[in-house]
Structure 1
Amino acid sequence: MKLKSRNTTSYQQDQDLIDPMSEWLSKNPGFNKSRLINMAVRHFITTEHKLVPVETVTASDKQASEIAKKMMKKHAHMLEKLK
C-alpha cells in the first residue's frame, strides 16, 4: 500500500501578524495555523481582484532620481534581506 506524501510548504509569518494570529487561534480552538493559512489562500485565489488604473505623472530626471533615492532609503531593510 502506497502512502500519500504531504506537500509541505514553509511559511514565513510577518512580525505584525504573530500576535493577532495567535490570539485568533486561541479563540478558535477548532483551527490550527495550517488550516487558517489554507483558508486564507483559498479565499484570496478564488476572489476576483480588479486593478484600478493609476494616474501617471511625468517626472524630470532630477525628480525621478530624488524619488528613487527616497524609495531606496525607505525600503533599505527589505533590500538588505534580498542580498
Structure 2
Amino acid sequence: MVIADELGYISFDKEASELLFTYLSLRAGRKSTIITTNLSFERWEEIFKDSVMTAAMIDRLTHKSFIVNMNGNSYRLKETKLWLSEQ
C-alpha cells in the first residue's frame, strides 16, 4: 500500500509529474493507493500542469476506487484554539 498524504500542497515539475503518473499507472488495479488532498479533482491541474496527464491520472486512480469526501472543520485548528485558550 502507498499513501500520498496532502497531495497538492506543492506543485510538481514536468519530470516529477510524469514519474508519479508512471508509478501510479503501474500500480493501478493491482495495489492499494491512498491519496489525501485538500483539492478537488477539478484543481489537480494546478499541481501537475498538464491537463491530459492529469485527466489520465484521475481516470486511473478513480477506476474501481472508493472516494471518501470529508468536509468539516479542521481538527488541528480546533485543538490549537483550545490550547491557546488554556494558556
Pick the TM interval, shorter chain: under 0.3
Greater RCO (Cα-Cα under 8 Å, separation 6 or more)? 2
TM-score normalised by the chain length of structure 2: 0.24
User: Higher strand proportion, which one?
Assistant: 2
